[in-house]
Amino acid sequence: MSALTAGMSIVIACTHGEPPTPPGSPSVAPLDLPVSPTPVPQPPIADAAAAFRPGLEQTREKPTASGQAFEARRDALWQAIVTDDPEGAMPFFFPLEAYEQVKDIGDPASDWRRRLVAAYKHDIHDLHAKLGDDAARARLVTLTVPGDRAGWVDPGGEWNKVGYYRVYGSKLHFSTPNRDSDQTFDVKSLISWRGEWFVVHLSAIQ
């Protein structure tokens, strides 16, 4: 989960029916003056990225769809859709460092890059296209995560060697000037790492 790619900062749980990726396919002060250093505030995404320092392991903490770090990642995803900039959404994608610890397959880094990240970026381009002329005026309302439906996936459940929480059916709610009611985009699957939600599948599970 090294630091997250692109500042981290969104999740894919493979369904048990999916085979693992075949081989090769497919984040000095002066001594006479006492100094009390003032901590430099870190942005929420950077704070979350610290959770993926080498050696840190998964926890059983169940994530919630709240807090500055979660909201910063959510907003990064929305901004990426609006501006058609998939790299900007990488803070909300399940980090490579975590994926390498979680997945019990031959080359998790290759699977992460060639399958999961590639699908994520494709979906962001597609969602931007669906906004069409409304992209610049579309406004994020919220991201709903059905936390009551989240379940713990034990090791071995989805070609995983480390457990995690997984939840299906989250939705990005947004508004546009030409519609009276809010609209939604699916966020198919989120999984957890150390008490935080991250995207693994956006528009489709591939």
Q: In angstroms, what CA-CA distances link 50 with 54, 149, 187?
A: 10, 28, 25
What would the pLDDT profile of 141-199 be if each residue is shown by its tens digit?
Answer: 999 999 999 999 999 999 999 999 999 999 999 999 888 788 999 999 999 999 999 99
pLDDT at 55: 61
What would the pLDDT profile of 90-109 be if each residue is shown by its tens digit?
Answer: 999 999 999 999 999 999 99
pLDDT surpasses 80 at 59:
yes
Query: Measured between alpha carbons, how far is 72 from 106 in angstroms, rounded to an integer?
Result: 33
| 16: exposed, middle or buried (Cβ count in 10 Å: 0-12, 13-18, 19+) | exposed
Angle at which helices 118-131 and 68-83 cross, to 10°: 70
Which residues touch 168 (CB under 8 Å, ≥6 apart)? 146, 149, 188, 189
Task: Please indicate whether residue 192 or residue 29 has the higher confidence score (pLDDT).
Answer: 192
pLDDT at 136: 92
Query: Measured between alpha carbons, how far is 193 from 201 in angstroms, rounded to an integer?
Result: 15
**Could you tell me which of 110, 113, 116, 94 has the C-alpha nearest to residue 18?**
116
Residue 86 · residue 125 · CB < 8 Å: yes
pLDDT at 180: 76
Query: Measured between alpha carbons, how far is 13 from 74 in angstroms, rounded to an integer?
Result: 18
Which residues touch 48 (CB under 8 Å, ≥6 apart)? 4, 8, 9, 69, 72, 73, 91, 196
